[in-house]
Chain A
C-alpha cells in the first residue's frame, strides 16, 4: 500500500518535471514553425471529420429531403399486388384521433401517360411526345401542409382546391430539366405553364392545362404529375375510394414517436391493409448501402490523414530530439529521469494535436456545419449537408491525440535511450 502510494507520487513528480520542460520548449520554439505544425494538425482533423461528414451528409441530406418532401414521419403504401390501401378511411380516422399528429395526406395514384405537343405535331411517322408517369390525385391543402409541395413549384403556380382541369408536372418528366438523363428516359419537349397536355389513364383521356412545374431532389415527387383529388376521380374509373399512399406528419415536438404511431396502427389491426413504414424504414436500401460505403471511404481518407499527421509529428519530434540530443544527455547526466524527458516530448505532441483539434472543432461547429446548413451542396439526388455528430467528432479527436502521442513517443524514446555520455559528448 505504502509502496503504491510512493510510486504514484513518483509518477506525479515525473509528469510535473516533464510539463515544466515541455512548456518551456514550446514557448521557446519558433513561432511560425509552431503555427505551421498546428495548422497541419487542424487540416488533418478537418480531413478526418469533414470528408466523411460530407459524404455521409450527401445521403443524409437526401434522407431528410425524402422525409420532409415525400414520406413525412410515417408512410403507408400499397401492399405489393394490391390495388390500394384497404380500409384507407378507417386508418385515416384512427390516425386523426391519435395525439401529436399534425398532418395526414392521402394520395391516389395511377400509372398513366402524359402527351405534349400533339397540336403542333405534323409528321405522324415520328413517335408522339409522350411520357409514362404516375398521376397523383391529392388534397392540395393537406399535401402542401405535409410536404410543402407549393414551395417546389419552380414555374407557374400551385394547384388551387376549387379549380378543375389543371395539372402540375414533375420537372424530371421534362427534357429541359433533365438534360443529362434525356437520352435514357423519354421526356417531354417544352411544356410551359398555360400549355395543354393530354393525360391518359387506362383508356380514358382528358386534356389538362399545365399550372406549374414541380422540381425537387426527391425523385418520387419530381417524376410525378399532380392533380386535385376531384379531377383524379373524374379521370379514373376504379372501384372504391381507397388511397395508395398515406403520409403522416408528427407535430415538431410531439411526445409520440414515428415508431409508436406505426406500432399503434399495427396493434389496431391495420398491418395487412397497407405497408406501414417510418421515414427511416422508407429510406431505400441502396441509399443506406451508399451511406455505409461513403462513410467507409471517408474513414479511409481520414486514415490517410492520420498517417500523414503522425509522420509530421514523428519528424517534428525526431528533429527536435536529435538537435537537442546533447541537452537530453546532460539532463540524463545530472539525474533527470528518462521518463520525464520522454513525457516532455509526448506533452509537446499532445499540445500540437490538441491545438489543431480544438481549432478544427471550432471550424467545424462554428463555421462549416452552419455554412452547409444554409448553403447545402447541390447534388443531383440531395442537398448535401455536413454530418458531424459530437460523439463521433470527439472520438476522432481522441484518436488523433492517441496517434500523435505514439508518433511523438517513438522518436523521443529512440534519442533518450542513447548512451548518456555519448549524447553529452556528441559521439
Chain B
C-alpha cells in the first residue's frame, strides 16, 4: 500500500520535473525578480520591501500557474494516452492513484517554490542581513505553498472528470473566488435579497477563505507577532479542504469507466 502510493507519487514527480516548460517558467520568475531589483534600486529607501513583495507575488503566481496547468492535465493525460489501462489493471486502489498524483505534483511544486525562494532570499541577502527579514520571508513562502496545495488539489479534482480547458477555467475561477469569499459573504449580508445572501454563504463555506492567508502573510511581512494557534488553525483549515477535494476525486474515479 505504502510502496504503491510512493511509486505513483514519484512517477508523477518524475513526469512533471522532466517537463522542460517548467524551467521556462522558473527562468521567467528569476528574470522578473531581477527586474524588480532594478526597479527597487530606483526608489531609494523602499527597495527591500518592494523586492520582497514582488518576489513573493512572483513565487505565488508562477507556482500557481504551474499548479493549474500541470494539475489539470495530470489525470486527463493518463486517460488520453491510455496509460490508465496499465495502472488500473494493477492491484491498486483508486485513492492511491489520486493521492499519488496529488503528492507527486505537490513535491514538484515544493521543489520549484524552494528554488525560487532560495533565489529570492539570495537577492534579499545583498541588501540586509537581518534575520527578521529572512524568518518573515520563509514563513510567507510556507503559507504561499499551503495555498498552492489547495490549487493543486482543486486542479487534481477537476482533472478526474473534465477536459483540461474546462479544468483550467474552473480551477482558476474557484481559486480567485476563494480569495474574495469573505467580501462576498459581507456583500451577501448587506444584500436585501435572501437568495443572494444564501448564495454568498454557500460559496463562502464551500471554498476555503484564502483572504485569511493573505492577511496572515501581510502581518508576517509587517513583522507582527503571529500566534501558533492561528498558524495551526489555518493549516488544518486548508488541509481539511485538501482531504475533501481528494476524497471527492477518488469517489469520481471509482465510479468512472475507462473506455
Question: A and B bound?
Answer: no
Which residues of B are interface residues toward A (Cβ below 8 A)? none
Which positions in A face B, CB cutoff 8 Å?
none
